[in-house]
Amino acid sequence: MAEVKKPDFQPLTAEEIAQHEKLIEEKALPDTPKFTSPNLSFTIFVKEAELLVKKEISESDKIEELVKDAVLNRWVNEGRTHHRGKHEKCAFCDNTISQERWTKLDKHFDEESEQLEKDIDALVKRIEAEKKAVSTALTINPSRFYSKFHTQLSDLNSALESAVNEYQSSLEALIAQLASRKNDILNAKEFVQPVDFSPELKAVWDGYKTLCNESDLFSSSLNSEQASARKALRLKEVADYLIIIDYQSKLDSIAALKDKLEKASSEKTRISVEITQKKALISAKKRELNDEEKGAKKVNEYLNDFFGHKFLTLESKKDAESSKRIRFEVIRDGKKAYHLSEGECSLLAFCYFLAKLDDIETRDSNPIIWIDDPISSLDGNHIFFIYSLISAEVVAKGGFEQLFISTHNLDFLKYLKRLKGGYIDSAGKNVGFQKAYFMVVRQDRTSTVQVMPSYLKEYVTEFNFLFHQIHKCATMGAVDDTNYITFYNFANNARKFFGIYLYYKYPDQGMSERTLNLFFGYDSVPAVLADRINNEYSHLCGVFERGATPVEVPEMQLAARKIIEKLKEDSEQYSALLRSVGEPPEAEGV
């Protein structure tokens, strides 16, 4: 491309392209036949012709009529030749040719005239021989030459034809003057000097010899010439391609873009320096804002407000070795605390973790938060406070990208289920997020993460689960393979449900015949029916034959419906129970 863009580069013409393409296909040729140009005698011919044409013949003893009439003179001379020694009489007029007439004619046509004719004939013959030699001296055969010389050979061939024709024309002019003198042999003529085309003819022959030599030399450089031809053709293709794609305008466009890039880079550098300076300033301000004393106060706030640990506090102390380093001391009852329990360590670590979430370096960054079993070694009271702290300080504020909480404690899981699926942002809008429950299942040395089963995920307590099973039995349309377990387990579920429900309603008595009657009211039939189902169908002891018969007692669904009807009397509690198990609330009067 650099060569194409040079000022002195000239693209190939169509003719040159054709020549180069032929050259690439060339095979090495044998040396051209040697050409020897004939010697031209034009100058000699001119001198001799001039002498013959201008030569004077003696006028003594000449017949005047014949001297004046060249045609008649030629006719008489030819007749003299035909009659001598053959006829005594004239073949034309039949008159006798006397000896005296023969003597006059011999004196008229003397030896000098005959010699002049002979000289003219001899010179014409030589001129004719040169004409023939010139026309056949050179025949140009392009097949003996490489294609790169064909154009020159074509031009040379045209020049050869022209030079031969002109040279032969000059020779014809000499012959014509000699013929004219021969026809009027007794009278000298003016000689007209013809143009000498010998130099032109010799130049053509010399040019042909030069091409022969060049062609022979070209055989030794054919490979390099073909390489040059290929390169020239490639450069032509490159030049054409640059024209097609408008290369120069593209370069101008690139140059303009580079100029813009340099300006933009310069501006970017300036802005980067400015950003670096501002970042340094921000870092300095952050260091000023990042008061570890405030962090310690935040930890103490969590300890006091959420956990009631007024006797346990955290204080920040400057490191004696470095003023930039901060260390913390745990204080109990105004003294440095030693030998903290595992629960106290967990509590302090969790409060410090929450305080760091409100740190200037973490705030508004929406990190991914992982809280790994924060209630380790804590009692039940502290478990609730940990949950309250997560709900108020983490979930309610929504300052996270993702939140992961792991635990092995089912009581803590019960509280975690209460976490809301959203938070209120700074604009007062409710922003929701997706909640999901998983559990880690270990088998031998491997563990897998699986979706939490419904019995753990959907029910807060066993009481909610038992209510849901009774509700299903009461609303069941027909018993089939998909719901028979609910029907089969109804007796156990109802007994356990009453055990919990009646204990909280009548903590001094629990479940008994009396409390069942109190639950169902003055209608004793449901109470007796419920007691029968609870005692007979939830046990096989004493009624062993029931274990050998299918369970299909219509009274079970009737009892379930009676239980639900009684629970509906406390509409608020009943609606809350429905919501706790994911059932839609029922309309009034249903």
Residues 488 and 447 in one domain: no
Residues 344 and 306 in one domain: yes
Chain mean position to CA 1: 23
**Range in 191-205, 397-411, 549-563 the model is least confident about:** 549-563
pLDDT greater at residue 82 or residue 558: 558
Please say whether the beta carbons of 33 and 215 come within 8 A. Answer: no
Q: Identify whether 73 is part of a domain.
A: no
Checking if the pLDDT of 244 tops 90, the result is no
Residues 409 and 509 in one domain: no
Q: Identify whether 18 is part of a domain.
A: yes
pLDDT (mean) for 166-182? 89
Residue 304: the pLDDT is 78
pTM attached to this predicted model? 0.40
Residues 201 and 144 in one domain: yes
Checking if the pLDDT of 537 tops 80, the result is no
Residues 307 and 265 in one domain: no
pLDDT tens string 54-105: 887 765 555 555 555 556 666 666 666 666 656 666 766 766 666 666 665 6
Residue 581: the pLDDT is 81
Q: Identify whether 441 is part of a domain.
A: yes
pLDDT greater at residue 162 or residue 235: 162
Residue 193 CB neighbours (<10 A): 11
Which amino acid appears at position 80 of this protein? R
Residue with tokens 């008649």: 72
**Range in 66-80, 119-133, 155-169, 576-590 the model is least confident about:** 66-80
Residues 205 and 250 in one domain: no
d(CA 24, CA 230): 7
Residues 433 and 543 in one domain: no
Residues 417 and 512 in one domain: no
Range of the domain at 260: 246-289
Checking if the pLDDT of 364 tops 60, the result is yes
Residue 269: the pLDDT is 93
Residues 307 and 330 in one domain: yes
**Range in 52-66, 161-175, 184-198, 398-412 the model is least confident about:** 52-66
Residues 196 and 253 in one domain: no
Q: Identify whether 511 is part of a domain.
A: yes
pLDDT greater at residue 110 or residue 484: 484
pLDDT greater at residue 238 or residue 322: 238
Q: Identify whether 48 is part of a domain.
A: yes
Residue 453: the pLDDT is 74
Checking if the pLDDT of 323 tops 60, the result is no
d(CA 86, CA 82): 7
Checking if the pLDDT of 590 tops 50, the result is no
Among 407, 433, 457, residue at a domain's last position: 457
Residues 353 and 415 in one domain: no
DSSP state of 311: T
What is the dihedral angle through the alpha carbons of 113, 114, 119, 125, rounded to the nearest 10 degrees?
Answer: 130
pLDDT tens string 261-292: 999 999 999 999 999 999 888 876 665 555 56
Q: Identify whether 19 is part of a domain.
A: yes
Residue 446: the pLDDT is 87
Domain count, the chain: 5
Share of the chain above pLDDT 70, in %: 78
Q: Identify whether 371 is part of a domain.
A: no
Among 401, 424, 457, residue at a domain's last position: 457
Helix (H, G, I), strand (E, B) or coil at 403: strand
CA dist 432 → 16, 363, 396 (Å):
78, 20, 11
Among 457, 484, 503, residue at a domain's last position: 457
**Range in 168-172, 244-248, 284-288, 466-470 the model is least confident about:** 284-288
Residues 490 and 501 in one domain: yes
Q: Identify whether 279 is part of a domain.
A: yes
**Range in 169-178, 314-323, 410-419 the model is least confident about:** 314-323
